[in-house]
Chains A and B, each alone.
Chain A
Amino acid sequence: MKAKLLALLAVIIICMLAIAYDEWHQSGQSSAPPGEATQHFENAPDVAFTAQDGKSYDLKTLPEKGIVLHFWASWCAPCAAEMPELIKQIQAARGKLALVGVSIDERPSAMRKFIAKLNLKNDAHIYWVWDQNKNISLKTFNTISVPETILIDRERRMTAKTVGDPGWQAKAQKAQLQKLEETN
């Protein structure tokens, strides 16, 4: 009789443990889905640079709300294709977004020539930077190829990176830029 009771007790305990484990397992899954766990935005590093206008700036203290940090070169065809559209988006943001265009050209003259060709009437909120010795691109941001773009929000956190020309006129890209200026 005693043995039967013991066996029954064991079975009940095993069942309870099993249910408890199941609950725990499921709760663990719902609270931390695999995607969410890794998506925390890192702060952008402190980067000081001298823009084409000869003034020194700091990435963190730019007056605009959001920053589009864009790596490009004059010899790169996709960059040339993408640039006008990107600038259009920046201008449409009416001062809420800044474009920091970091050129990895071998000479600053190549960069200047490219910019002159763009024939911009209004280049407010656009900072052209020649990246000497790839201090910004390769050393700080580990970026070796162009075009690559990093989006930095109002709190100066890096929210996304795009590789290649994403097509800035596309809805998704516009929304992403929109989100950048709206972040609070």
Chain B
Amino acid sequence: MKCLVAFLLTLFIWQSAWAEQNHLDTHIFAELPVQHNGRIKPMDSFARFYLRTFSGDAVVDGMTADDWLADLIFTPERAYGRAVFDVNNPNLRLALDLPERARHHYSFLEIAAAMEAHQEMVNSILSAQEKNVTDPAQQQLISLYANMTAFLDISRSLSLVLPVFRVEDAALARQIGVPAGQNFSYLEMMRRRAQYLSLAQSVLKYAGNHPDARQVVLLQIGAQLEHMEADKQSQILRIVPPAWQPDGNSWLSPWAMLNTGQGAPQSAALLQAWTRMAQAYQENNATEWKYAGENIFQQTLSLAGGQIRPYALSAEYMYNHAYLFAVSLAFYLAAFLLLLGARRYRAFYYVSFALLVCGFLSHFVGEALRIYIMARPPVGTLYESIIFVGLIVVAGSLLLEMRSRRGLGLAIGALSGFALQAIGMGFAGGDTMEPLVAVLNTNFWLATHVIAITTGYGCCLLTGILGHIYLLQKILQPLHHERLQITSRLMLGAALAALFFALTGTMLGGIWADQSWGRFWGWDPKENGALLIVLWLLWMLHGRLSGMLRANGFAMAAAAAVIVVALSWFGVNLLNVGLHSYGFTSGIAINLFAFIALEMIFITTCGVILYRRSRHP
């Protein structure tokens, strides 16, 4: 026992000592603001975006995205050797002679060398029109090349402040005016340019074959300066808020700031702080690192005026790290699995209920964080609509469960929550918080319209699922009248709620369209889709009220509502016309048609079975 304690204690001390020695607190770095894709985000989101783009994952080699980015911009030479580029196409690997590996990850240096070795082939593909390239291997080569360019661009972002120059010779250093035996940066070098040039004249005049050590150093400096000329193009990492533009919306990369004449005393101080941070990173100096990081944050904040919301940056960092939607997905799955055992053990039911609530809470908190970070209503893109509909369906199911307490709501909530979160993850490519086009972002009517209509989708989906369940119950357990009645009642309630929200949403959309486009209704495909949902629900409900549709017919109509929703939600966008199109996506088309076909088969089969049973009881 004592041995074990001692061992654990040693491990702990060793671990914390290691953490202190070798691990700078990247949290400080991760929350620094950067402008990317039209919005200001924490470095963490920037790092994740690019690491995912390059490698397909947010963690590579056990390194988090933040660690990776810090390494890339502060010690680029080291980062060039790190395998982060995903080359998953076997034909491309073959064509470039890349060695086979378990994870198909290759470093910048490896790929650059491979591309150089096959220069002719690479050039011929890259020079082709991108639209004409249909071969997956060639497509990947084109995207790989673009990724490499972006990678190089980011890696050179801070090269002007990195201490990459060094003169050992004390006399020479004095002549140039730089400290001997110490590294110094491009910016410092540029301040001594005149002295350097006059010294370099002697090298240029030298005609012999064996330059002395002094001349070699001068040549090396010249070569380094020449090499850094290309760095001036670096513009992806926009960390400097504009000091001089009154509109001040577009931030600049350090190089772009300097080269477009946007430098100011404030930016000089900011670059100074970045220099210190780079130095602290290279020297692994935790205190200096922390100090420099805080300094950069403050400087950027004061330079950006009111553009930055510091708490939103922290919130986004938290959002990135908590994986709340993935957590909710896990909760939903667990809730469903436990529910399967609830018939034997009642305790499972309660645990499942609690798990569903936990899933809902995590889903809800994620959504709330998104609203806070983006400072806008939660639904603006297809991805967001999926996540939001998921939330509504789970909330609706929880309400159902509280009324009926028979596990039905739990089953629906857990399954549909899981399914929608899973579908949402498929749509969560790149930055899911990209700003919307101005027209979508400003209007109050639009915001309420989108929320109402997606809530309508959610309720309609719930109605549909209940319809399915009713049909299955009726076929499999036709004698449980009480249970059937409950399902039927819940279905009616959900349909009414769906009608309320869909109708309100459509009307609000009309009001907004009137303000924005000058007409209330224009037979836009999406408008028709929304109208279709409303009409379908109206038809269903009137049929039921007038007695034209009995319980079975109503359930079939409710089940078919799912198809109507899918068409209005996803189908309309495939038409590629109208004002609501998100652009054609062939993947969605196939899935959508498969889904509709399956639903048709299911509903018709149920209908036939129930019809036959009613004829021959």
A interface residues with partner B (beta carbon < 8 Å): 18, 21-22, 25, 32, 34-35, 37-40, 42, 44-45, 106-107, 133-135, 138-145, 148, 158, 160-161, 163-164
Contact = CB atoms under 8 A, between A and B. Distances in A.
Interface of B: 177, 187, 190-194, 197-198, 241-244, 246-249, 257-268, 271, 304-307, 444, 448
Contact of B265 (A22, A106, A140): A140
A45 B265 contact: yes
B192 A133 contact: yes
B586 to A, nearest CB: 39
Contact of A38 (B194, B197, B248, B267): B248
A135 B191 CA distance: 8
Q: Is the interface of A mostly helix, strand, loop or mixed?
A: mixed
B261 to A, nearest CB: 3
A148 B259 CA distance: 11
A161 B248 CA distance: 13
16 contacts: A22-B444, A38-B241, A38-B242, A39-B305, A42-B266, A133-B191, A135-B191, A138-B190, A139-B191, A141-B268, A142-B258, A142-B263, A142-B268, A142-B271, A144-B259, A161-B261
Contacts of A25: 444
A37 B257 contact: no
B145 to A, nearest CB: 31
Q: Is the interface of B mostly helix, strand, loop or mixed?
A: helix
Given A22-B444, A134-B190, A138-B190, A143 B263 contact: yes
Contacts of A45: 265
A44 B244 contact: no
Contacts of A144: 190, 258-259, 263
- A-B pairs with lowest CB-CB distance, top 8: A142-B263, A163-B261, A106-B194, A38-B305, A38-B248, A142-B268, A37-B306, A134-B191
Nearest to A14: B448
Q: Of A44, A106, A142, which is in contact with the most chain B CB atoms at under 10 Å from its CB?
A: A142
A141 B444 contact: no
Nearest to A44: B265
Given A106-B194, A107-B194, A142-B271, A38 B304 contact: yes
Nearest to B197: A106
A148 B264 contact: no
Given A38-B246, A38-B304, A21 B268 contact: no
B264 A145 contact: no
Contacts of B268: 139-142
A158 B268 CA distance: 15
Contact of B306 (A32, A42, A133): A32
Contacts of B191: 133-135, 138-139
A152 to B, nearest CB: 11
Contacts of B262: 161, 163
B305 A37 contact: yes
Nearest to B248: A38
Contact of A37 (B244, B259, B307): B307
A50 B469 CA distance: 88
A145 B305 contact: no
A142 B160 CA distance: 12
B177 A133 contact: yes
A35 B246 contact: yes
Nearest to A133: B191
Contacts of B271: 142
Nearest to A163: B261
Contacts of B260: 163
Contacts of A22: 444
